[in-house]
């Protein structure tokens, strides 16, 4: 196992999990709100407490989303021809013997996922803040209603995307999960998946 | 009220003029709205578009103080269009009576009736009399054609009140006048009835009594008096003001509307002689013929066994008025202002805010040696010595504050406007050291009596002989605790001996010694009965050895369907719900209006009292006598009038037998639009001398506090004052209630958009309202609910402000002060009720 | 149990505001310090200390100098209540057997979403950030008493009873239709209007905001089905394709 390569920084890992944990808290409490799940009273103490936790978890989420920009944004918006071709091949997920174009540190799917997360994350955070803090305005009710709508649309998109993300990062791609634990991957593993990255790094 | 609250629902047309029931008597609107739901029309005439006006089918604006012009116009219209109810007018009013041919009216005598004494400002009423038959009854012309008959004189008098003239005076558009005259006049048919609701908007004028007289004439012309859904209804301003008036709160009447004796009537015989009306009219009941029974029973009630035949039943102990003396409100405070009083009990009142020209009252209070303020809260009166512009160091008056219990903290009766006496129970104990008024009086009486006993004093008899058996007596003979039921029983009266009907053979016993009187019919003039207030006799009685508090009855049966509810509490007199109800039937006793038959004569049915056929059914009739057509025993319907009929011609009043329009003391026109010689009521008592036909203030005409300015550029706008639903009178009870204060927090003045624009005043801005006597700040409510009037071809603005505020509460002074700082010192020619409803002000940005 | 409702008839209302005070009395609400701002209407708006008020509408009239309407304003106890739909806290808003939309301050989380989705701008928040509003005096009506406003109204402008009877009463009085039937599955505060509702300051067709309906009908189920769907799709994918393998890919390169 000596030929490992560092794929993620410690900061990135911490940030990822900060986001992930806050996200799960947000999802669970969000579902509690949406579907009036009484069990939340046992988990969070009360709905009032859950509301506070939801709000502050939202802050953690928003902050980690902000920091994630430094980790991913530059890479995520740099779409190459190979990335597009990768997407056309569905990332090779719909064949047992997929051939996919070479990818950078992030593959096109990951880039796409990140951009989606970023956009919906900004939307959900901003609208969450509006619902929470009701910044003074003459038309606050209209703003809150709009925010509530966007918050929920974002949530629906996000929750589907994140389920897929979890699947792809675990069962669908064995060996991926350790990236967010140790930060390193075997070079060979990486070469198969992120050839361009390795090229760039001269490995 | 001649009728009662529930009865408002029986009307076809309801005229609200001089009142504002939606704001001041909200419960009355329950019945008015019910009438409307059945198709009745509500007419509202008011200078301002009020909350009542908002419910009106027809609304007309009218400049304050011009009601007689308006009503005179209506009389003119009714006669001209022959809308009157002829049978009623001929049979039940004095319209057919022939008047002294020397009688002349203001149309002929430049604004006054015949007999005017300009210097004395009063009338010699010699010519206001009837032409008499040899038998001593007035001559009549049932055809109503004789030029000297009341009807023709009235026609002539009001011929001057054409719609155009009336419009020029009142500012009401002609078409509105005609619309209202037509609608109201439509009730001159037997099967249509109209009622009128008024309050202080009519009474508080220099022509207040005549305002109501004018309406009485209309109601008599249309045959609306005595009818279900008819009558003239004074909406009393406090829940129990009817009760307090019944019980003699005014200076000139004892309980039961018995006149206060004057000093010239030295004995009871002279008093009875003077105050008992006589008539030769055989068909007249002339109920006041019984006055001797009532005054004697009253004396027996208050002086008990000390009142004997030999000492004239203690008549000498009654307080007397000097001949011609007036001790009404304005005069009292004028005397106080002049330093004529030592002490003053302000009991349940707040004259420092409620009185017209309150600024003068506040000064007057400072001339007292002592004052006792009995109230639920301290108020502007009790704290006058630290009021605005008063230096406490300058005030020598010693003020005692006695906390009184509120109405829910004591038991007793209240009498509402419909003369309905209802018993109420104590809900909670009085707060803190407060006491029921009766207990405060008990304490006072005991101490005063002890002092008289000890020191003698100038005239101890009225005090030491006063009965006071209102409970168990403790040390020193003081009543330990007032039993209010004993007071109620004393008011009802007792048989002091066994009483017999001597006319029956053999004499029939009608009363047993020691038993509560059945009703006033059994009261006696020989001292064998007592009654503290004859009209309440029957309110607390005994039947089959059982004592019955009639006022506590709560029966809900209504067999006629007209809302009489005869088993609910008790109405004076003798539980009669509609006064003069014998006028609701034709001379044969058949109801004019079969749908609303309040009483009817059943000629076949055996009368249980007489065991003969013929009995009244329905409400308690105005006397059991058969209907008028019965040649032997038939009686006229207006039993309280000596002549038995309704008075279209009313010679009893000071200012004329027919109401005539005079301008308020302060008005926007230079001269009376009807004639040039008498701008104001020529018989009104003046507190500040006037000069000339326009009644301008004379030089050095009196105290500067009583000054006035009419038709003066400095005070160009007509003003009126009013109450609001959210506050009670001067607000002593409501300004301490945060819930009420949040709804009506501050003094305001309502002004028209046009005036606001002229003066550059914006809605919600603070303004100063000033008159010749004082000023107040107010928040301007700029509204369409006031519009400028077109009066005598010029534009007249009117404003209005409530009188429920005062400097003392709320404590931060944010409420403002009383609008009565603006109102004048002048009153009605008959009653001296102050003219607070029409005066002149200026409005400026503060 | 039949649904109860108010029947409010502005034609009968005299603007005396007995209802305003009676409501405060029963609910023991404190007063607020107000000023006269150029109107007899006060306080200017519903508040945590004011569950019901009379709105005074002064408007031009053809026959008179003005037309003055008095309209009772309060929670309408909608059959389909926007506040109840959007409220995220179970039990904070609920409907009694009588049809009253009531609230439990203990369970309210203070999010104010009910404020935004109320078609009538009714809920207000108290100093503890909890919802307050008219609750149809649920604690009185449960005992067979009238709500305090209806009890005190002198003219019958505020009637209360079984909803069907209230509609019948309005019809009997001559109204062709009542405001609040059938809007929002029927309001618990019906109005007998003589004129267009907007004259009385009421919306012509009150409705829960469209976004709330969309959220309630589409987005909310989507969150549920979306997660389930994504998980199911993942599982199906796993079964169909299994974990990703790259050996072949490498060879090709």
What's the average model confidence in pLDDT over B172-197? 97
Rounded to two decimals, the pTM is 0.94
Distance from the Cα of A174 to chain C's closest Cα (Å) equals 7
In chain B, what percentage of residues exceed pLDDT 70?
A: 100
Nearest Cα to B837, choosing from B53, B207, B111?
B207
Nearest Cα to C132, choosing from C164, C105, C101, C162?
C105
**Cβ–Cβ gap A172/C237 under 8 Å:** yes
Nearest-by-CA chain C residue for B34: C155
Enumerate the residues of chain C whose CB falls inside 8 A of the CB of residue A30. Answer: 223
**Cβ–Cβ gap C155/B33 under 8 Å:** yes
Contact of B206 with B828, CB cutoff 8 Å: yes
Output DSSP code: residue B140: B
Q: Facing residues of B601 across strands? A: B616
Confirm or reject contact between C6 and chain B (CB < 8 A). no
Q: Is the pLDDT of residue A173 over 90?
A: no
B-C CB pairs within 8 A amount to 117
C218: Cα separation from own chain's centroid: 22
Question: In 3-state terms, what secondary structure has residue A62?
Answer: helix
Q: Which of C244, C249, C253 to mutate to test the interface with A (most CBs of A within 10 A)?
A: C244
Written as six digits, the tokens of B227 are 């009818």
CA B9 to each of CA B29, B629, C12, C13, C151: distance values in angstroms, whole numbers, following the listed order: 9, 31, 14, 17, 20
The span from the first CA to the last CA of chain A, in angstroms, equals 16
Compare CB distances from A148 to C113, C227, C230 and report the shortest one's residue: C113
**Cβ–Cβ gap B26/C32 under 8 Å:** no
Compare CB distances from A97 to C89, C233, C248 and report the shortest one's residue: C248
Q: Is the pLDDT of residue B281 over 60?
A: yes
Enumerate the residues of chain C whose CB falls inside 8 A of the CB of residue A153. Answer: 219
pLDDT tens, residue by residue, B226-263: 999 999 999 998 889 999 999 999 999 999 999 999 99
Phi, psi of C18 (to 5 degrees): -60, -35
Q: Treating both helix axes as pointing N-terminal to C-terminal, what angle do A140-169 and A108-133 enclose, rounded to 10 degrees?
A: 150
Confirm or reject contact between C28 and chain B (CB < 8 A). no
pLDDT of residue C247: 54
Enumerate the residues of chain C whose CB falls inside 8 A of the CB of residue B787. Answer: 65
**Cβ–Cβ gap C34/B745 under 8 Å:** yes
Residue B17 is inside which H or E element, if any? strand B13-17
Place of tokens 């010689």: B677
Nearest-by-CA chain C residue for A46: C107
- What's the average pLDDT block by block, 10 residues per block, for chain C (253 residues)? 95 96 96 96 96 96 94 97 95 96 95 94 95 97 96 97 97 94 95 95 93 94 92 92 65 36
**Cβ–Cβ gap A141/C214 under 8 Å:** no
Q: How far apart are CA B272 and CA B289, in angstroms?
A: 9
Compare CB distances from C42 to B59, B738, B742 and report the shortest one's residue: B742
pLDDT of residue A98: 65
Written as six digits, the tokens of B167 are 């419009």
Q: How far apart are CA C179 and CA C11, in angstroms?
A: 14
Question: In 3-state terms, what secondary structure has residue B132?
Answer: strand
Q: Treating both helix axes as pointing N-terminal to C-terminal, what angle do A10-35 and A140-169 enclose, rounded to 10 degrees?
A: 120
Q: How far apart are CA B685 and CA B657, in angstroms?
A: 18
Q: Is the pLDDT of residue A202 over 90?
A: no
* Sign of the CA dihedral with B98 first, then B100, B102, and B103 last: negative
**Cβ–Cβ gap A36/C233 under 8 Å:** no
Distance from the Cα of C78 to chain A's closest Cα (Å) equals 19
**Cβ–Cβ gap B781/C35 under 8 Å:** no
Confirm or reject contact between C42 and chain B (CB < 8 A). yes
Nearest-by-CA chain C residue for B767: C38
Distance from the Cα of C159 to chain A's closest Cα (Å) equals 32
Chains contacting chain B through 3 or more C-beta pairs under 8 A: C
pLDDT tens, residue by residue, A30-78: 999 999 999 999 999 999 999 999 999 999 999 999 999 999 999 999 8
**Cβ–Cβ gap B781/C16 under 8 Å:** no
Q: Which of C86, C246, C248 to mutate to test the interface with A (most CBs of A within 10 A)?
A: C246
Contacts with A20 (C-beta within 8 Å, 6 or more apart), sequence order: none
Confidence of residue B662 (pLDDT cuts 50, 70, 90): very high
Enumerate the residues of chain B whose CB falls inside 8 A of the CB of residue C156. Answer: 30, 33
Chains contacting chain A through 3 or more C-beta pairs under 8 A: C
Contact of B177 with B166, CB cutoff 8 Å: yes
Q: How far apart are CA C211 and CA A113, in angstroms?
A: 27
The span from the first CA to the last CA of chain B, in angstroms, equals 43
Enumerate the residues of chain C whose CB falls inside 8 A of the CB of residue A136. Answer: none
pLDDT tens, residue by residue, B325-367: 999 999 999 999 999 999 999 999 999 999 999 999 999 999 9
């Amino acid at each position: 196992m000596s030929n490992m390569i560092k794929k993620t920084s410690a900061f990135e890992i911490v940030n990822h999990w900060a986001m992930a944990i806050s996200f799960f808290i947000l999802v669970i409490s969000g579902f509690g709100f949406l579907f009036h799940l009484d069990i939340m009273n046992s988990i969070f103490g009360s709905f009032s407490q859950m509301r506070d936790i939801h709000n502050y978890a939202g802050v953690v989420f928003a902050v980690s989303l902000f920091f994630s920009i430094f980790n991913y944004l530059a890479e995520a918006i740099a779409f190459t021809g190979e990335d597009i071709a990768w997407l056309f091949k569905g990332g090779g997920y719909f064949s047992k013997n997929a051939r996919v174009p070479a990818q950078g540190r992030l593959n096109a799917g990951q880039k796409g996922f990140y951009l989606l997360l970023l956009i919906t994350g900004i939307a959900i955070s901003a609208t969450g803040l509006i619902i929470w803090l009701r910044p003074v305005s003459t038309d606050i009710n209209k703003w809150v209603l709009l925010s509530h709508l966007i918050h929920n649309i974002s949530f629906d998109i996000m929750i589907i995307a994140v389920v897929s993300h979890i699947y792809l990062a675990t069962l669908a791609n064995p060996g991926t999960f350790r990236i967010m634990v140790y930060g390193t991957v075997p070079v060979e593993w990486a070469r198969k998946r992120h050839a361009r990255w390795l090229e760039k790094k001269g490995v | 009220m001649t009728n009662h609250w529930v009865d408002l629902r029986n009307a076809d047309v309801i005229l609200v003029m001089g009142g504002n029931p939606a704001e001041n008597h909200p419960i009355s609107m329950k019945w008015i709205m019910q009438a409307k739901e059945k198709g009745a029309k509500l007419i509202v005439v008011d200078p301002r578009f009020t909350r009542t006006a908002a419910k009106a089918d027809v609304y007309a604006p009218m400049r304050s103080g011009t009601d007689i012009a308006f009503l005179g116009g209506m009389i003119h219209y009714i006669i001209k269009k022959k809308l009157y109810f002829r049978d009623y007018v001929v049979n039940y009013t004095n319209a057919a009576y022939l008047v002294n041919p020397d009688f002349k009216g203001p149309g002929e005598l430049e604004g006054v009736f015949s007999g005017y004494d300009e210097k004395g400002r009063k009338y010699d009423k010699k010519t206001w009399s009837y032409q008499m038959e040899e038998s001593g009854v007035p001559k009549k012309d049932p055809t109503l054609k004789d030029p000297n008959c009341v009807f023709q004189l009235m026609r002539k008098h009001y011929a001057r009140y054409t719609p155009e003239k009336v419009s020029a005076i009142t500012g009401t558009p002609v078409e509105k006048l005609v619309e209202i005259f037509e609608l109201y006049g439509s009730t001159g048919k037997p099967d249509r009835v109209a009622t009128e609701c008024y309050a202080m908007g009519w009474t508080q004028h220099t022509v207040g009594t005549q305002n109501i007289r004018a309406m009485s004439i209309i109601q008599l012309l249309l045959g609306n008096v005595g009818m279900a859904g008819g009558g003239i209804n004074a909406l009393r301003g406090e829940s129990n003001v009817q009760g307090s008036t019944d019980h003699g709160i005014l200076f000139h009447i004892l309980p039961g509307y018995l006149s206060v004796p004057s000093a010239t009537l030295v004995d009871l015989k002279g008093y009875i002689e003077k105050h008992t009306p006589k008539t030769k009219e055989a068909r007249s009941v002339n109920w006041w013929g019984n006055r001797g029974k009532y005054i004697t029973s009253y004396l027996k009630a208050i002086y008990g066994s000390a009142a004997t035949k030999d000492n004239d039943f203690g008549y000498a102990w009654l307080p007397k008025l000097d001949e011609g003396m007036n001790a009404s409100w304005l005069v009292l405070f004028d005397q106080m202002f002049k330093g004529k009083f030592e002490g003053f009990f302000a009991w349940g009142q707040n004259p420092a805010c409620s009185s017209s020209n309150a600024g003068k009252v506040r000064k007057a209070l400072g001339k007292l040696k002592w004052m006792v303020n009995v109230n639920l809260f301290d108020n502007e009166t009790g704290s006058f010595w630290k009021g605005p512009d008063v230096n406490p160091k300058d005030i020598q008056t010693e003020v005692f504050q006695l906390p009184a219990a509120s109405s829910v903290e004591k038991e007793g009766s209240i009498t509402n406007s419909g003369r309905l006496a209802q018993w109420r129970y104590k809900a909670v104990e009085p707060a803190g050291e407060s006491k029921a008024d009766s207990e405060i009086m008990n304490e006072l009486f005991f101490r005063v009596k002890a002092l008289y006993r000890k020191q003698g004093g100038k005239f101890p008899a009225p005090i030491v002989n006063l009965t006071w058996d209102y409970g168990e007596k403790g040390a020193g003979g003081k009543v330990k605790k007032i039993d209010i039921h004993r007071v109620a029983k004393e008011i009802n009266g007792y048989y002091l001996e066994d009483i017999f009907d001597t006319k029956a053979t053999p004499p029939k016993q009608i009363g047993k010694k020691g038993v509560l009187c059945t009703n006033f019919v059994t009261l006696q003039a020989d001292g064998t009965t007592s009654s503290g207030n004859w009209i309440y006799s029957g309110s607390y009685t005994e039947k089959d050895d059982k004592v019955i508090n009639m006022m506590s009855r709560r029966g809900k049966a209504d067999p006629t369907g007209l809302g009489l509810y005869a088993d609910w509490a008790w109405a004076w007199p003798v539980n009669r719900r509609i006064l003069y109800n014998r006028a609701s039937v034709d001379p044969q006793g058949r109801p004019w209006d079969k749908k609303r038959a309040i009483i009817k004569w059943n000629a076949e049915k055996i009368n249980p009292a007489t065991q003969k056929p013929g009995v009244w059914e329905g409400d308690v009739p105005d006397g059991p006598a058969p209907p008028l057509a019965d040649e032997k025993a038939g009686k006229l319907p207006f039993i309280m009038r000596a002549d038995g009929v309704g008075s279209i011609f009313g010679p009893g009043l000071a200012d004329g037998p027919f109401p005539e329009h005079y301008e308020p003391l302060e008005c926007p026109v230079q001269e009376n639009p009807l004639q040039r010689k008498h701008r104001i009521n020529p018989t009104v008592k003046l507190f500040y001398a006037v000069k000339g036909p326009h009644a301008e203030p004379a030089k050095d005409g009196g105290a500067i506090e009583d000054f006035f300015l009419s038709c003066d550029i400095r005070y160009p706008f007509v003003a009126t004052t009013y109450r609001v639903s959210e506050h009670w009178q001067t607000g002593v009870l409501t300004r301490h209630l945060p819930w009420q204060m949040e709804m009506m927090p501050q003094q305001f003045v309502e002004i028209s958009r046009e005036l606001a624009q002229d003066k550059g005043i914006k809605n919600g801005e603070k303004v100063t309202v000033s008159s010749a006597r004082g000023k107040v700040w107010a928040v301007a409510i700029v509204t369409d609910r006031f519009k400028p009037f077109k009066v005598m071809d010029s534009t007249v603005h009117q404003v209005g402000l409530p009188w429920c505020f005062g400097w003392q509460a709320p404590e931060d002074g944010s409420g403002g002060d009383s609008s009565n700082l603006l109102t004048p010192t002048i009153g009605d020619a008959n009653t001296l009720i102050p003219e607070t409803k029409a005066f002149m002000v200026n409005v400026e940005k503060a | 149990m039949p649904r109860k409702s108010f029947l409010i008839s502005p034609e009968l209302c005299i603007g005396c505001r007995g209802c305003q005070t009676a409501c405060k009395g029963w609910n023991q609400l404190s007063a607020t310090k107000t000023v006269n701002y150029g109107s007899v209407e006060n306080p200017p708006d519903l508040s945590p200390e004011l569950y019901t008020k009379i709105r005074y509408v002064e408007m031009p009239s053809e026959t008179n100098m003005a037309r003055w309407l008095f309209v009772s304003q309060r929670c309408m106890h909608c059959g389909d209540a926007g506040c109840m739909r959007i409220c995220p806290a179970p039990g904070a808003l609920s409907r009694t057997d009588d049809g009253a939309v009531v609230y439990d301050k203990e369970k309210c989380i203070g999010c104010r979403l009910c404020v935004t989705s109320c078609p009538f701008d009714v809920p207000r928040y108290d100093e503890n950030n909890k919802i307050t509003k008219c609750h149809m005096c649920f604690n009185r009506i449960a005992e067979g008493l009238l709500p305090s406003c209806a009890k005190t109204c002198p003219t019958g402008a505020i009637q209360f009873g079984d909803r069907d009877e209230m509609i019948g009463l309005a019809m009997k009085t001559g109204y062709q239709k009542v405001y609040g039937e059938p809007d929002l599955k029927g309001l618990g505060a019906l109005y007998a209007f003589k004129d267009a509702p907007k004259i009385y300051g009421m919306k012509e067709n009150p409705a829960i905001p469209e976004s709330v309906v969309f959220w309630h009908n589409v987005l909310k189920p989507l969150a549920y089905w979306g997660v389930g769907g994504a998980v199911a799709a993942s599982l199906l994918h796993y079964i169909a394709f299994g974990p990703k393998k790259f050996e072949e890919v490498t060879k090709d390169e």
